[in-house]
Each structure stands twice: as structure tokens, then as C-alpha cells.
């Protein structure tokens, strides 16, 4: 085990943190450098959107998704306050995806990414996730490393859906380049931006150990305040038109 930010982390987590420290200095290319490196699952360029032809059968995919669902269930058992979260994020993301008129293939990848976007939380220590005090920046930086673990898991188990792994990998990137990898707005995949917005909306609407749930008016105000900063502005407009917090 090792310690980061004053919190004990398991070795699985710290390995991803070590990978982060080995990225090139140019922040805009950190994430894509890692995704295209030999350390990425199977050596595949997860950071690209080119089509990958899968030779796996439907049965293989179903078995892989069962493995991921089992891990997601384990996450909910470990942290009861997250029960139902993946489904709710999936519902919000699907609403935005339909409003955006995504292709069936992209909707499929979006659904998988939304269901398993937080699967990498299994690599984060209980002491951080169950922290009862407000998060400081150091805590948030550690928490966001779960995207590395989640992207690896989905890329390994579902190599025929690179868009899904990509969305999980980059779903904490921001248009203002304030995300973990510092990607520019134009570099963030649209599915990742959808997950980022849906994830934040769901999180604000429900209780967390360090804060109460927010009201619909508070959520709208927070999303509006962060439009173009944390959230892709075009997607925010779509959510305003089609979203529902009831």
C-alpha cells in the first residue's frame, strides 16, 4: 500500500498514479500519449475514434458485460449511497444522446460508458470515497484517477467498443482545460462530454457523505455557472431543452 494526499491507497491505484507522473510535460497530449502507448490495454490506441472490427461473438460480449456488471454491483455493495447511480447516469446520458441524434453505434457505446463510467472507483480507497468533510482539490485530483482504471477495464473486456473506453477515460476533462489531462475542448470526445454532464447532474441531485442533495433550481444554477468551463455548452443547451429533474 502507499499514501497519497494523506489517504492510504492500494497498489492498484498507485500504479495508475505512477503512470500519470510519467506523462509528457505537454498537458494537452498527456492523456492521448498514454492511450496510444504500449501500456494501453492490448497496445490499442484507445484515444482514437477509428472503427475497430470485432471478431468476438455476441456471447463473448455478453459474458464481458456480465463481468462488468458484477464489478458494478460490488461497487454498490461497497458504497451503498451509490446504489442506482449507474442507471440514473445512463438515463440522463441517453436523453442527451438522443437529442444529439447520435448513431446507433455511438448510442451503444454511450450506454456502456454510462453504465460503467465509475467502475474504476474500485481502485480508490474507502477513506476518500466515504469522506464526511468537503473535498479539497487534492482529494478531487486523486478521485479523478479512477478514469484510468475504468478505461483499462472496459478496453480490456470490450475491445470492440473503443468509444466506450475512450468516454470513460476522458469523462473528467473540461472545456476550460481544467481536467486531469488538460485536454482542450476540441480534443474531448463528445461521448466523454455527455458522460461528464450526466455524471455531474446525477451527483448533485443525490446525497453524498460530504454534502446533501441539491434542489433542481440549485442544479440548474450550478450547470449554468459552469457552462463552457466544466461542461460543453452545446450539450448544456440540449439538456435545458430536453432534461427533466423530476
Spatial contact of 72 and 157, defined as CB atoms under 8 Å apart: no
Locate 174 and state its grid cell: 473540461
Confidence of residue 193 (pLDDT cuts 50, 70, 90): very high
Instruction: Say which residue, 210 or 214, is predicted with more confidence.
Output: 214
Residue 32 has pLDDT above 50, yes or no: no
For residue 225 the three cell numbers come to: 455557472
Distance of alpha carbon 142 from alpha carbon 144, whole angstroms: 5
Question: Distance between CA atoms of 177 and 187, rounded to whole angstroms?
Answer: 10
| pLDDT over threshold 80, residue 94 | yes
Within the chain, strands assigned E span 2-4, 7-9
Query: pTM higher than 0.75 for the full model?
Result: no
* Residue in the block written with cell 470490450: 158
- Model confidence at 225: pLDDT above 80: yes
Q: Which residues contact 172 (CB under 8 A, 6 or more apart)?
A: 144, 147, 179, 180, 196
Q: What is the pLDDT of residue 146?
A: 84
Q: What is the mean pLDDT of the chain?
A: 76
Kindly report, residue by residue over 121-178, the tens digit of the pLDDT.
Answer: 887 776 666 655 665 666 666 677 788 889 999 999 999 999 999 999 999 999 999 9
Q: Which residues partner with 3 through β-bridges?
A: 8
> Which segment, 3-12, 52-61, 211-220, is predicted with the most confidence on average?
211-220
Amino acid at each position: 500500500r502507499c499514501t497519497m494526499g494523506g489517504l492510504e491507497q492500494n497498489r492498484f491505484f498507485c500504479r495508475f498514479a505512477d503512470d500519470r507522473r510519467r506523462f509528457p510535460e505537454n498537458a494537452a497530449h498527456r492523456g492521448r500519449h498514454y492511450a496510444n502507448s504500449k501500456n494501453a490495454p492490448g497496445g490499442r490506441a484507445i484515444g482514437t475514434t477509428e472503427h475497430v472490427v470485432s471478431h468476438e461473438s455476441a456471447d463473448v460480449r455478453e459474458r464481458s458485460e456480465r463481468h462488468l456488471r458484477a464489478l458494478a454491483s460490488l461497487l454498490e455493495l461497497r458504497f451503498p449511497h451509490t446504489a442506482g447511480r449507474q442507471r440514473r447516469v445512463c438515463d440522463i446520458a441517453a436523453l442527451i444522446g438522443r437529442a444529439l441524434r447520435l448513431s446507433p453505434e455511438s448510442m451503444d457505446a454511450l450506454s456502456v460508458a454510462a453504465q460503467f463510467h465509475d467502475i474504476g472507483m474500485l481502485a480508490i480507497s474507502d477513506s476518500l470515497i466515504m469522506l464526511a468533510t468537503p473535498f479539497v482539490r487534492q482529494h478531487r485530483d486523486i478521485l479523478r484517477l479512477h478514469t484510468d482504471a475504468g478505461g483499462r477495464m472496459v478496453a480490456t473486456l470490450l475491445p470492440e467498443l473503443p468509444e466506450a473506453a475512450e468516454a470513460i477515460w476522458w469523462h473528467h476533462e473540461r472545456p476550460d482545460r481544467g481536467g486531469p489531462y488538460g485536454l482542450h475542448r476540441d480534443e474531448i470526445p463528445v461521448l466523454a462530454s455527455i458522460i461528464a454532464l450526466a455524471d455531474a447532474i446525477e451527483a448533485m441531485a443525490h446525497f453524498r457523505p460530504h454534502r446533501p442533495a441539491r434542489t433542481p433550481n440549485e442544479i440548474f444554477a450550478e450547470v449554468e455557472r459552469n457552462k463552457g468551463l466544466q461542461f460543453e455548452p452545446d450539450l448544456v443547451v440540449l439538456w435545458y431543452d430536453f432534461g427533466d429533474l423530476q
